[in-house]
């Protein structure tokens, strides 16, 4: 197949391109050239900002397009409209953040969505609502020649967000680890490589539909204990309250990854049965933890994008113990 990829050089997109090339597909990548510009010399690559249009492609035709980088309704509308008569199938990578109510468990693809947010920039709008607007734009232009994949938290090697990486690495270092709130809080992470394989399968089949692409449900406690087993560390966990973390001004998800807002219990319990029936295969979490640690050890310069500094963690643990006697 001739596949056009909008993005394709970071994390999940990079995994997709690797697998698609290995499968023998003919790829053309369009991105801003900010990251991974040296990757994939075997693929045709164009440096362009999609918000300025895709006229760089001329009148070339493709069997399918994978859109990994669409955030605003305007840019997705412009891309889809330009490609509608040049591409047979459009697959848009959205997010489970489009759903309106995460207080319930078992969210499925037909559950209510947030209001569509037509914000013109990532900074101005609501992430979930912006993705709803993007989904609507794709469907309105491509109709039944489109598919929508809604991933949950994407994890694994080369995660530039560090939202997952922080935990295997911190736990591997041993000692006392500050853990957020509730050991039974649900956790779902999908390995970027599993997501890439599923997306490639849907592209090859030109499948119609919408899929929640999420990992198997476990708990934070199970995740942390698996990290400890894989790394062989002597870590202990101290679970601190939501109120304490809020009073100390700790930032959810960024400063302390996987610490969620109250009322978000459903975020770790999303229904993936439709995607599994369509071919989603999930590797054991232990493999993702091991591979993430192996990748991290090869990083030459680490500037953490998320996670507590060790000093901040020690400070918080001391205050927690003092407050609880």
Alpha carbon separation from 19 to 159, 195, 196, 287 (Å, rounded): 17, 11, 7, 18
Cβ atoms < 10 Å from Cβ of 20: 24
Domain with CATH 3.90.25 in the chain: 166-187+218-265+284-324
Contact between 245 and 259 under an 8 Å Cβ cutoff? The reply is yes
Question: Token pair of 116, please?
Answer: 């569509």
Closest by CA to 94, choosing from 114, 78, 123, is 114
Question: Token pair of 99, please?
Answer: 């759903």
Alpha-carbon span 58 to 16, nearest angstrom:
24
Write out the E strands in the chain.
2-6, 26-31, 44-47, 62-67, 87-93, 146-151, 153-155, 176-180, 186-187, 189-191, 209-213, 218-219, 236-240
CATH code: domain 2-151 is 3.40.50.720
pLDDT of residue 9: 86
pLDDT of residue 32: 80
Task: Report DSSP state, residue 256.
Answer: B
* Tens digit of each residue's pLDDT, the chain (325 residues): 999 999 988 899 999 999 999 999 999 999 887 777 788 889 898 888 887 889 989 889 999 999 999 999 999 999 999 999 999 999 999 999 999 999 999 999 999 999 999 998 888 899 999 999 999 999 999 999 999 999 999 999 999 999 999 999 999 999 999 999 999 999 999 999 999 999 999 999 999 999 999 999 999 999 999 999 999 999 999 999 999 999 999 999 999 999 999 999 999 999 999 999 999 999 999 999 999 999 999 998 889 999 999 999 999 999 999 998 7
Closest by CA to 17, choosing from 163, 196, 137, 168, is 196
Alpha carbon separation from 86 to 59, 63, 75 (Å, rounded): 7, 8, 17
Closest by CA to 297, choosing from 230, 237, 235, 252, is 230
Alpha carbon separation from 179 to 215, 225, 258 (Å, rounded): 21, 12, 9
Closest by CA to 8, choosing from 67, 57, 56, is 67
Domain with CATH 3.40.50.720 in the chain: 2-151
pLDDT of residue 226: 98
CATH code: domain 166-187+218-265+284-324 is 3.90.25
Cβ atoms < 10 Å from Cβ of 124: 10
Three-state SS for 2?
A: strand
Angle at 90 between CA 85 and CA 94, to 5 degrees: 145
pLDDT of residue 128: 97
Question: Token pair of 276, please?
Answer: 């599994």
């Amino acid at each position: 197949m001739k596949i056009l990829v909008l993005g394709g050089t970071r994390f999940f997109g990079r995994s997709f391109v690797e697998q698609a090339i290995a499968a023998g597909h003919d790829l053309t990548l369009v991105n801003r050239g900010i990251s991974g510009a040296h990757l994939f010399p075997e693929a045709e690559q164009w440096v362009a900002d999609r918000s300025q249009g895709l006229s760089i492609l001329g009148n070339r035709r493709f069997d399918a397009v994978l859109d990994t980088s669409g955030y605003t309704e305007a840019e997705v509308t412009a891309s889809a409209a330009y490609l509608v008569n040049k591409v047979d199938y459009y697959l848009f990578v959205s997010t489970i953040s489009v759903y309106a109510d995460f207080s319930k468990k078992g969210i499925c693809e037909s559950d209510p969505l947030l209001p569509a947010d037509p914000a013109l920039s990532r900074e101005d709008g609501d992430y979930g609502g912006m993705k709803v607007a993007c989904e609507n734009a794709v469907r309105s232009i491509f109709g039944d020649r489109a598919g929508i994949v809604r991933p949950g938290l994407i994890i694994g090697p080369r995660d530039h967000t560090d939202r997952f990486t922080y935990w295997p690495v911190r736990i591997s270092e041993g000692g006392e680890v500050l853990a957020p709130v509730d050991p039974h809080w649900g956790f779902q992470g999908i390995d970027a490589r599993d997501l890439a394989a599923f997306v490639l399968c849907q592209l090859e089949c030109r499948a119609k539909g919408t899929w929640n692409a999420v990992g198997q449900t476990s708990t934070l406690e199970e995740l942390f204990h698996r990290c400890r087993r894989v790394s062989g560390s002597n870590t202990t966990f101290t679970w601190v309250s939501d109120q304490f973390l809020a009073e100390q001004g700790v930032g959810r998800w960024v400063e302390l990854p996987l610490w969620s807002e109250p009322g978000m219990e459903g975020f770790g319990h999303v229904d993936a049965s439709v995607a599994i029936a369509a071919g989603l295969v999930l590797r054991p979490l232990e493999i993702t933890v091991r591979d993430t640690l192996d990748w991290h050890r090869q990083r030459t310069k680490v500037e953490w994008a998320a996670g507590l500094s060790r000093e901040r963690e020690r400070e918080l643990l001391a205050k927690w113990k003092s407050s609880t006697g």
